Amino acid sequence: MSLLKTCFCFTDTYTLACVKAGESYEVLKEELGLLITEINSVAEKGVIVIDGTQFSLEVFLAADYKFLLATMGLGCATSDYACLWCLVSKKERY
């Protein structure tokens, strides 16, 4: 099995949290703050040890665009600045 196939296969994807609340940055920060801190810590190390075996890892955040915008503290997809990757404004988009 190729590395690419194993990395992006749904069987290698795990749900870490479920939150029944609004999808605002403030709510997500409050409800998921400790989890995010732990994920960031593991991601910075780039390795994880399970049962004495060290595994290299790469962390991806996968979600719908609305959730990703909320995690970045951005507004909705139609707001003035709604790009996750750059600072282009709504007026400059085609």
Please name the residues in contact with 57: beta carbons below 8 A apart, sequence gap of 6 or more: 42, 43, 46, 47, 48
The residue with its CB nearest to Zn ion is: 83
Contact mark string toward Zn ion, 59..88, x via CB under 5 A: ------------------------x-xx-x
Residue nearer to Zn ion on the CB measure, 32 or 83: 83
- For the residues of 5-39, what is the DSSP string, one character each? HHHS-GGG--------S---HHHHHHHHHHHHHHH
CA 48 to chain centre: 18
Instruction: Decide if residue 34 touches Zn ion (CB under 5 A).
Output: no
Q: What is the DSSP letter of 73?
A: T
CB of 93 to Zn ion, least distance (A): 8
Considering the complex, what minimum distance in angstroms separates the CB of residue 87 from Zn ion? 8
Binding site for Zn ion (CB under 5 A): 83, 85-86, 88
